[in-house]
Amino acid sequence: MRRVIVVDDAKENRYLSQKILEGYNYTVETASNGVEALEIARKKPPDMIITDTLMPKMDGFQLCRELKKDEKLKGIPVLFYSATYTDKESEKLALGIGAVGYIVKPQEPGVFIKILNKIWDKYSKGEIKPTEKPLEEKVYMKTYNERLIRKLEDKMLDLEKSEKRIKYLYSVLNAVRGVNQLIVKERDKGILLQKACDILIGARGYNAAWLGLLKDENTFGVVVGSPPKGDVSRFCKQMLKGDNPPCIERTFIQKVPFTVMERPRDCEGCILKSTYPGKESVIMRIAYNGKLLGLLILSLAPSISVKDEEKYLLIEVANDIAFGLHNIEMEEKDKILKQKLQLSYQKLQKTMEGAINTIAKIVETKDPYTSGHQQRVSKLAETIARKMKLPQEKIERIRISSLVHDVGKISVPAEILNKPTKLTEIEFNLIKDHSQAGYDILKLIKFPWPIEKIVLQHHERLEGSGYPRGLKGEDIIIEARIIGVADVVEAMSSHRPYRPALGVGAALEEISKNKGILYDPEVVDICIKLVREKGFEF
């Protein structure tokens, strides 16, 4: 079994070569540079050394040179396998210092082994012999240094090209990034278009940039450009007149997402050609879901040429602008819709309040002694709800519910409502039915909130002694608990057919005494504070 040393500074290359050779019955040791390879060879000379050229510490040429100087190692065949030095001069240098062959990377595994075996067989038969007179040191060093300097120059040139390419791609990516950031935060179409043009000019150095939005299939409604003065402005005005150059008309018809117009051949008499001396203009369709929204037009400076990467990135810019414009349009439509809904809601609110007030007045005509009672309860209940920092929607439903909380009294005979003496048990039970009656009336009306449920529960009490259902604690909704307290305070403070007004003091004493028993403790505390400290008046 042949023993080979593979020398390469790239770990993945060493691993790959080792696996390929082992698959063809070679025994393999590896080294990352010429120094390591010499150490391994001196300990146990191999049958062959396969080496890369450019490596740290000691490269392949110097390794071969050192092997040929050593009496014990000079008979080891050296095969170069390189992707760095691929020219004939490098191969000539390698053979001149004693190598038996020179293979250029990369090679398919089977091809590589076939070439290797062929070289090995010829070497074994004496058909390939290392040069008997290796290059003299002076000649070798001159040739070696020339190759090294040339390779370094090539590397520097490659680095320079790479740096230019990186700068080029960075400028394009910078434009894409700038437009994307703009789309996220800008909600005004005109500003979005103008700033997008400014970003493209600033980041990439185009001669000029225009963005036009269509108002119909081939007529522009808005056209902006950068820089915004002079010839750019003139082009904008021409586009708005509908005097489109042939290249733009073709873009409408052909539906090509990206068009590069070369000045010598296209757009004879076009304002782009006559105004800007650059060698090309670029036209991109701004479309969303197949609908053409407008065009992005760029006039390229003489130093700029659009490569494939830039083409794809500019198409992305155009698509991003289309997405941003679509979002703004949707937001504008949504805003208009919300405004319409708000107006409809306000009209509905007005209609509903008119109906509520009408119902309240009907109740008051039947029970004149309680005239204004519901309005006063509503005022106190709404104020309590605000102090409790309830959501605005809940505050509104409390206000509306309070205005009709006694609507069920329509079903109670007027003589009972206005009776100046104490009510009998039967009469009192009839009055107690007004909560259920109010519920039955209001449930037929489609309110935006559960008004009927609030009205039904406004006489329920925490310990279950209320009516009509005998609900307890949290089973009574907060709106009903607030109206319940406001109702008691207003009723006790006002005159009734069967008694004179008891006064606010007595009303506050009643709710304070029964706080947490009949009435919600938080509601009671706020009500008392409103009247005593804040000076609330009906």
248/378: higher pLDDT: 378
Q: Residue 529: which pLDDT band, with cuts at 50, 70 and 90?
A: very high
- Find tokens 């109206």 and name the residue: 483
Mean pLDDT, the chain, integer: 84
Any alpha helices (H) in 278-413, and if so which ranges?
Answer: 308-366, 373-387, 392-403
Residue-level pLDDT at 489:
95
Question: Could you tell me the domains of the chain?
Answer: 3-135 (3.40.50.2300), 169-332 (3.30.450.40), 367-532 (1.10.3210.10)
Rounded CA separation 284/538 (Å): 69
**Percent of the chain whose pLDDT exceeds 70:** 86
Rounded CA separation 329/167 (Å): 36
Q: What is the pLDDT of residues 49-106, one digit of tens each?
A: 999 988 889 988 889 989 988 889 988 999 999 887 777 888 888 888 888 889 988 8
Rounded CA separation 255/279 (Å): 23
Residue 522's CB is within 10 A of a number of other CB atoms, namely 16
What residues have CB less than 8 Å from 147, skipping those under 6 apart? 61, 85, 89, 90, 93
Residue-level pLDDT at 230:
54
Q: Residue 229: which pLDDT band, with cuts at 50, 70 and 90?
A: low
Q: Which residue from 295, 223, 224, 293 is spatially nearest to 258, judged by alpha carbons?
A: 295
Rounded CA separation 455/406 (Å): 8
Q: What is the pLDDT of residues 269-282, one digit of tens each?
A: 566 666 665 557 78
Contact between 54 and 151 under an 8 Å Cβ cutoff? The reply is yes
Phi/psi at 515 (5° precision): -65, 130
> Mean pLDDT across the stretch 107-121?
89
Contact between 79 and 50 under an 8 Å Cβ cutoff? The reply is yes
Residue-level pLDDT at 290:
85
Contact between 194 and 226 under an 8 Å Cβ cutoff? The reply is yes
Residue-level pLDDT at 175:
77
The secondary element (H helix, E strand) that includes residue 105 is: none
> Mean pLDDT across the stretch 187-195?
85
Residue-level pLDDT at 477:
97
Any alpha helices (H) in 242-307, and if so which ranges?
Answer: 246-254, 271-275
205/132: higher pLDDT: 205
- Find tokens 């109010």 and name the residue: 438
Handedness of CA 404, 410, 414, 416 (dihedral sign): negative
**Percent of the chain whose pLDDT exceeds 90:** 31
Per-residue buried b or exposed e for 218-234, using 16+ beta carbons within 10 Å of the residue's own CB = eebebbbbbeeeebbee
Residue-level pLDDT at 449:
86
Q: Residue 291: which pLDDT band, with cuts at 50, 70 and 90?
A: confident
> Mean pLDDT across the stretch 32-44?
94
Residue-level pLDDT at 494:
86
Residue-level pLDDT at 391:
95
220/535: higher pLDDT: 220
> Mean pLDDT across the stretch 391-417?
90
What residues have CB less than 8 Å from 233, skipping those under 6 apart? 225
User: What is the 8-class DSSP label of residue 70?
Assistant: S
231/315: higher pLDDT: 315
Most confident of 139-143, 368-372, 496-500: 496-500
Of the ranges 29-43, 127-141, 319-333, 457-471, which one carries the lowest mean pLDDT score? 127-141
Q: Residue 264: which pLDDT band, with cuts at 50, 70 and 90?
A: very low
Q: Residue 17: which pLDDT band, with cuts at 50, 70 and 90?
A: very high
229/150: higher pLDDT: 150
Residue-level pLDDT at 525:
96
Q: What is the pLDDT of residues 505-525, one digit of tens each?
A: 999 999 999 999 999 999 999
Residue-level pLDDT at 331:
84
Beta pairing class for 27-31 and 101-104: unpaired
